[in-house]
Chain A
Amino acid sequence: MIRWLVGAIGFCVVASHALAAEPMEIGIGYLGQAVVKSKLSLVEQPAENDGVAGARLAIEDNNTTGKFLNQHFTLEEVRLKQGEDVAKAAMALAGRNGFIIADLAADALLQAADALRDRGTVLLNAGSIDDRLREQDCRANVVHVAPTRSMLADAVAQYLVWKQWKRWLLVVGSHDQDKLYADALRRAATRFGAKIVQERTFEDTGGARRTDSGVTLIQRQMPVFTQQAPAYDILVAADESEVFANYLPYRTWDPRPVAGSAGLVPTSWDASQDQWGAIQMQNRFLKLNSRRMTATDMQAWTAARMIGEATSRTNSGDPKTVFDFLKGPDFSVAAFKGTRLTLRDWNLQLRQPILLVDGRMVVSVSPQEGFLHQVSELDTLGVDRPETKCKLH
């Protein structure tokens, strides 16, 4: 009997060793769109692997850590072609992965979220900045890593107010998301005490982004478009569609700076960000992907790192355990922004400082000094708890 017991214990020890040798596998899916948005500036044209390249770096980082914890991370990428069923693709991906990083437009993201509602898969939104996803259309199974449009607008507004550039000439594009950005900028102006002295709409009449004689024509159009404006300090452009904003700097009728979609731009990340240890991460990214890191890359990196952070803290790859930790009071993640990033528990939006960049340098980082908040100064950016329309269930 005793011999049997000793043998059994011995077997158990051996078995647990064998188990320990087998790493815990943590699968992360990446769901993005195949179509890459076109930009006005050639140097800003996104790479085909925009976003997923950041997730790949985070998988490497997670695996370096995982080596010591016996955890192993994999990434499975799916790109949706035009018209492809997002719900079906999400379901297939969820069959093999407990976590999905999504770089999708708002409607597609909602379809994926609703299809996965009863599966226990955790969706991390790394692409869409639409406020409605965190407000009236919020979902209990979606964590938002990308900042909201209102966070971006508030970030630039705080700086302009701090700089005493309080009189804005607002120029809005004719597409829906341009109008949403303009809404966010108007809200920001009201919140922080700026004045929109006039609004103009820039109609998208179509046409190519790149032509051989492009500059000559633009140089005539833009001064004319901006003339006879009331006295203003700065032109604020809302042009997410990339139709005109980058044509404005140096071409306004009055010599005024530009902010918003061109000039001083609010963003979650920039290739020039080198504070708070970011240089190491920029170097790692460059080495792995042979190009510079964009905001979408950073959002995907942060999403995958949040999963890695939670799996290392909980010593578990189970999506429910990980999700509970992410939503709990002990979660925070370091992402080279000088402060810990945490989740807003009312809508699962990641709190984060926003960089203000001019295309070459980080000009400033919001929240700006003096914008105070009773909970976290990061909550001076975007829609705060008392104003939220989100009900998570």
Chain B
Amino acid sequence: MWRRCLVSGTALWLAAAGPASAFVAYVSNEKGNTVSVIDTDKWAVTATIKVGQRPRGIEFTRDGKFVMVAVGDDDTIQMIDAANQQVVDTLPSGPDPELFTQDAAGKVLYVANENDNTVTVIDLEKRARLGDIQVGVEPEGMAISPDGKILVNTSETTNMAHFIDTTTRQIVANVLVDARPRFAEFKRDGSELWISSEIGGNVSIIDPAKHVVTGKISFEIPGLRREAIQPVGIGMTKDGKTAFIALGPANRIAVVDGTSHTVTKYLLVGQRVWHMAFTPDEKYLLVTNGVSNDVSVIDVGALKVIKTIQVGELPWGITIAPQ
């Protein structure tokens, strides 16, 4: 009891003493089987945590106490205690988990299991499996609508976004998108759903109410072959005005106007850029560069890359602690 008080007291004191802008980012290193911890005040790696085989999808629990990391080749999701930076538990995810998402309350976790054509539903408090939902071939991208009613899953070989009712856990609609859809992101107001197609080379914009594709964002970079442009991760500001799209081996982040859907800028980052996370104040966007083994820091206001941080081998996913 005393110890706990002391620890939380120290944490409080540290939080109060540190500058307001200090956040903690966790980066999964797919080949290194590690998670790098980055201090956004120092812009440096402060710890490296050993995890299971092939860590990819990574996310903080809503309360900020744990970091969940999908270790695909170990067929599980590991829970890292954010206080002592150690793996403390696992979740029954089903085989080869890659990406996952949680509901607004942080009580239910939905996991894409690539090997099984299923989405697994997990009770986060009990850390128990609640059920499975059959989807298309190679489920990957996962997103929950802001009102919490709809779960969206993309399947990479079926090339669809499946709309799943979170209450009945039944598929209510399927929308065809371009080849190898990898990532799904809702606008905060729920008006649009964006899906990146890695092999199709574009981002589909879907009307989540009507279940139709209303537009597509394509990318053209002088001097780059069309095949090298492979969109993966998507990040959108809370006001929905600016979106960032990672273009994989094109080594660039596309900045897209959230309203007109036009590309306004390309930011050169590291090699094979995968995923991204904003700091809670949205001042910075951190992106993982798979081949160059680093993380690029983007100043969101200035739309400039301001820093590169070396992390572990083949960084893939990233999550930043909520405030």
Q: Which of the 9-residue segments B172-180, B250-258, B292-300 touches chain A?
A: B172-180
Q: Closest CB of chain A to B248's CB: distance in Å?
A: 10
Within 8 A of B (CB), among A265-322: 277, 280-281, 283-284, 305, 309, 312-313
B199 adjacent to A68 (CB under 8 Å): no
How many residues of chain B get a CB closer than 8 Å to chain A's CBs?
25
B180 adjacent to A334 (CB under 8 Å): yes
If A333-B179, A340-B200 touch, whether A65 touches B158 (CB-CB below 8 Å) is yes
Name the interface size band of chain A: 20 to 34
Q: How far is the CA of A179 from the CA of B155 in the complex (A)?
A: 45
B160 adjacent to A65 (CB under 8 Å): yes
* Residue of B115, B162, B171, B227 with most partner-chain A CB within 10 A: B227
Q: Closest CB of chain B to A165's CB: distance in Å?
A: 25
Beyond contacts A65-B157, A334-B157, A376-B225: 13 other A-B pairs, Cβ-Cβ < 8 A, are A61-B137, A61-B157, A64-B136, A65-B137, A65-B160, A68-B136, A277-B114, A277-B180, A280-B96, A305-B157, A312-B159, A340-B199, A340-B200
If A65-B160, A334-B199 touch, whether A283 touches B115 (CB-CB below 8 Å) is yes
Quick one: which of A68, A284, A333, A334 contacts B160, CB cutoff 8 A?
A68
Within 8 A of A (CB), among B160-185: 160, 162, 171, 174, 176, 179-180
If A68-B158, A68-B174, A312-B159 touch, whether A332 touches B115 (CB-CB below 8 Å) is no
Task: Say whether A137 faces chain B, with CB atoms less than 8 Å apart.
Answer: no
Interface of A is mostly: helix
Task: Say whether A339 faces chain B, with CB atoms less than 8 Å apart.
Answer: yes
- The contact sample of 18 A-B pairs, CB cut-off 8 A, is A61-B158, A64-B136, A68-B160, A68-B171, A69-B174, A277-B114, A277-B138, A277-B156, A280-B96, A280-B138, A309-B159, A313-B176, A332-B179, A334-B199, A340-B179, A376-B225, A376-B227, A378-B227
Interface positions of A (Cβ within 8 A of B) = 61, 64-65, 68-69, 277, 280-281, 283-284, 305, 309, 312-313, 332-334, 339-340, 376-378
Q: How far is the CA of A305 from the CA of B158 in the complex (A)?
A: 10
Interface positions of B (Cβ within 8 A of A) = 96, 114-115, 117, 136-138, 155-160, 162, 171, 174, 176, 179-180, 198-201, 225, 227
Interface of B is mostly: loop
A64: which B residues are within 8 A, CB to CB?
Answer: 117, 136-137, 158
Closest to B54 in A: A279
B114: which A residues are within 8 A, CB to CB?
Answer: 277, 280
